[in-house]
A and B are shown apart, each in its own frame.
Chain A
Amino acid sequence: MAYSWENARLTSEVTGLGVLNMLEATRLYAGTDMSCVRFYQASSSEMFGKVQEVPQRETTLLWPRSPYGVAKVFGHYMTINYRESYGMHASSGILFNHESPRRGPEFVTRKISQAVARIKLGRQDEVALGNLDAKRDWGFAGDYVEAMWRMLQQDEADDYVVASGETHSIREFLDVAFRHIGIEDWSQHVVQDPRFFRPAEVDALIGDPRKAHERLGWKPSVSFAQLVETMVDADLADQRTMVGG
């Protein structure tokens, strides 16, 4: 996301036009038999940007506030256009934040879980973060992949919000992560760094996943606390295998 501000052009090309490129290639390949390919587009809750409705649903007005969000909106519309105009089985999953131990360390969740593991092992003292009050609807990536797969097993393609339906702050993420290594008061380990504040912060992002519940029979299997603990455990195991760190 932060990357998208510095590389608006590249973000637009890859994240926006890339979708159209795939749709067009799929359409040309499918020819007269559109049913021979099913297409999934990974849309994002960042499309809601300046949110127009809480919680956000499939019908919520999109108001992107970052180049990343704008590019994702474009991909989302084009997916719908190809479904409606060409009859393509093209679904768009509006995925809210979903994390796992495989998240890159540039994402705040993994940055925290990695830092907490290193603090536990005495390899690091503190971690610099942006706005601790930023709230997100976080789920477990494995659950979200299951939702994507289910979308493509439906007779009809459609758009689905995939979310936990709960929102938690960075502060709560820190609470659970530090508590897991036995630290109740983490204030001395966290510094706030204005460099990590976003130019335009999205607000009140929380998804309403009812349509996915009802039509796909999908429900998240991992809770917020379980997710954070799983990530910290994985980083502890990871750090322990590193000699010296």
Chain B
Amino acid sequence: MPTALITGITGQDGGYLAERLLDEDWHVHGLVHASDGHVDELRRRTSSVELHEGDLADAAAMSELVNEVAPDEIYNLGGISSVAFSWEYPLLTAEVSGLGAGAVLEAAWQLKQRGGREVRVLQASSAEMFGLPAQSPQSEDTPISPVSPYGAAKAFAHHFVAVYRARGLHAVSCILYNHESPRRPPQFVTRKITRAAALIASGRQDSLELGSLDVRRDWGWAPDYVEAMVRAIRYPHPHDFIIATGESHSVADFVEVAFSHAGLRPWRNYVSLDDRLIRPVDAAELVGDSRKARTMLGWRPVVNFDDMVRRMVDSDLRAASS
């Protein structure tokens, strides 16, 4: 039975990916951090994954784990997931998201050298690596120029993938633009909005505070992005792929779709702005050009922006009424 190892398995993408791989009868192992509070949730959805407690930043432990599991595919989805957090803890971010990826790649390389068989690695890179891009949309050739510790750590990992690929490892980097789902934690702006819409609609909250309504992002549906990752790692040759919808929407657009779906019109009556929520440096328009993935992998996003927002609101409405 083919085997996969997923770091960050308790995250949004990790869960969808585990389900996706279990559906095709893969043996799925996952790395979880000792302080991870989402293990039970994952267990409820996917009882058959084998979980290993460990720390991405611990290179020796990662090497041991990769040797023990001997995976065919490694998905490195683990790491610090928030730009704001990365400003508060830049070193921890660099250790986990940057060096952690290095540890995974080195462990895969060692396993390949010893076992003489292919080990494929997929790195979940981020559009944050582009920082304040000069061109829009961004492609695989857009200069990497991060403006946050999070982006710099992700850039480090992305560059490390290229280094190991040049060395002969089947190492793939998917540059993922924002992708959301009902499983996004509520500290992300998208989920914060849909949850607030549900709570306001059910009379449990009065209003929503946001940092900026003008920030624009290229938002996609997380399960679509997981599908792209699986296709990317299974493509015969390792490449970098931009995974994005190619459309950008503002936070205001997001709020509008979410609040009208919850019956809250006009949405401006329920939203106030709070300067403290604005990040030190916020990236300009990040929109991805995913033509390479569309052409080579036959991938395309299935769920559009409005549907994605509505699905998230529906899920939060269900939760609010239960």
Contacts and interface: CB of A to CB of B under 8 A. Distances in A.
A57 to B, nearest CB: 13
A157 B178 CA distance: 33
A34 to B, nearest CB: 13
Interface centre among B94, B143, B145, B162 (most CB of A within 10 A): B94
Contact of A16 (B87, B145, B156, B281): B156
B94 A65 contact: no
Interface in A151-200: 199-200
Interface in A73-132: 73-74, 77-78, 81, 84-86
B149 interface: yes
A120 B162 CA distance: 44
Nearest to A68: B163
Given A9-B59, A199-B166, A81 B148 contact: yes
B98 A12 contact: yes
A86 B148 CA distance: 11
Nearest to B129: A77
A73 B155 contact: yes
A137 B114 CA distance: 38
Contacts of B90: 20, 23-24, 78
A70 interface: yes
B174 interface: no
A21 interface: yes
A70 B165 CA distance: 13
A88 B146 CA distance: 17
- Most chain B CB within 10 A, of A13, A21, A23, A70, is at A70
Main secondary structure of the interface of A (DSSP, over half): helix
Contact of A20 (B94, B102, B148): B94
A139 interface: no
Nearest to B99: A12
Contacts of B159: 63-64, 69-70, 73
A9 B103 contact: yes
A69 B155 CA distance: 12
A110 to B, nearest CB: 26
Given A17-B91, A85-B281, A77 B146 contact: yes
Nearest to B159: A70
A81 B146 contact: yes
B interface SS class: helix
A17 B99 contact: yes
B143 to A, nearest CB: 4
A61 B143 contact: yes
Nearest to A74: B156
A61 to B, nearest CB: 4
B254 interface: no
Nearest to B146: A77
Contacts of B153: 74
A166 B103 CA distance: 38
A70 B152 CA distance: 11
B123 to A, nearest CB: 13
Interface of A: 8-9, 12-13, 16-17, 20-21, 23-24, 61-67, 69-71, 73-74, 77-78, 81, 84-86, 199-200
20 contacts: A8-B102, A9-B99, A9-B106, A12-B99, A17-B94, A20-B90, A20-B91, A21-B91, A23-B90, A24-B90, A61-B143, A63-B159, A65-B163, A66-B163, A69-B163, A70-B163, A73-B155, A74-B94, A77-B146, A85-B280
